[in-house]
């Protein structure tokens, strides 16, 4: 799905010119670009690490044996997903492999593993907001404060976005683990359509002026980031 996804998104990008490219803004706003890179590297790395760590704690060592129980960003970044992040500001990390049959609580364990990633993003945002709340960031300089604000904002976005119940996002697996067996089987059969639904939500519906992400992702992420940082973040 990776090469197909990047091809579709790049065609859309060059056809419409409607997607922001962080690398295009690097010259005009180097501090913003650095903050974007720091926020994404931290967010994706810790997010994926916590998936692997939670699975390990619940009895599944698949991710650990594949080198994913690591805070080294290189273990978690996918070449296609990383290229998308740089080009259009949207991408993905390498999915953490999980064998749900090895998880001690069964399917509930898969919900816990999936939930660990987004909750970690929100925890990271809360930690980055502490200096902003305490006024320490302002004392160290405006650039430092700007980077912290971006870390808070992007991690709130990552956390809330990944909780959407659309495969392959974490929210879909959280729902799957909580459903009764028969409904869970039906839910899993719907996963094959998830990437296409996600593409529609991200690009087709906005093109048709149908706003789904605004009320479901942007509004709650903005409210949470503003609450944590004590100031408007985005």
| Enzyme catalytic residues | 48
Quick check: 40 and 155 in contact, CB under 8 A? no
Which residue has tokens 């604000």? Answer: 149
Tokens of 11: 């065609």
Name which of 59, 220, 230, 55 is nearest 130 in CA terms. 230
Half-sphere exposure of 228 (CA within 13 A, CB side): 28
**What is the end-to-end Cα distance of the chain in Å, rounded?**
31
The residue among 114, 126, 5, 18 whose CA lies nearest residue 60 is 114
Contact 95, 108 (CB under 8 A): no
State how far the Cα of 234 lies from the Cα of 232, in Å rounded to an integer.
6
* DSSP structure class, residue 94: P
**Under 8 Å between Cβ of 163 and 171:** yes
Please give the radius of gyration of the chain, using alpha carbons only, rounded to the nearest integer: 18
């Amino acid at each position: 799905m990776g090469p197909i996804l990047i091809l579709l998104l790049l065609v859309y990008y060059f056809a419409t010119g409607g997607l922001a490219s962080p690398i295009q803004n690097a010259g005009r706003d180097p501090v913003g670009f650095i903050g974007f890179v720091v926020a994404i590297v931290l967010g994706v790395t810790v997010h994926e690490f916590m998936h692997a760590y939670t699975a390990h704690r619940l009895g599944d060592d698949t991710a650990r044996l594949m080198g994913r129980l690591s805070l080294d960003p290189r273990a978690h970044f996918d070449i296609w997903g990383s290229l998308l992040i740089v080009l259009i500001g949207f991408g993905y990390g390498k999915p953490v492999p999980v064998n749900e049959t090895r998880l001690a609580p069964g399917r509930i364990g898969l919900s816990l593993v999936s939930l660990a990633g987004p909750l970690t993003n929100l925890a990271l945002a809360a930690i980055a907001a502490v200096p902003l709340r305490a006024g320490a960031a302002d004392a160290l300089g405006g650039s430092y404060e700007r980077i912290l604000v971006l870390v808070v904002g992007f991690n709130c976005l990552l956390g809330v976005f990944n909780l959407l119940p659309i495969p392959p996002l974490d929210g879909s697996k959280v729902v799957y683990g909580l459903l009764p067996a028969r409904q869970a089987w039906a839910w899993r059969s719907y996963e094959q359509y998830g990437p296409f639904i996600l593409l529609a939500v991200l690009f087709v519906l906005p093109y048709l002026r149908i706003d789904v992400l605004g009320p479901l992702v942007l509004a709650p992420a903005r409210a949470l980031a503003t609450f944590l940082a004590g100031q408007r973040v985005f």
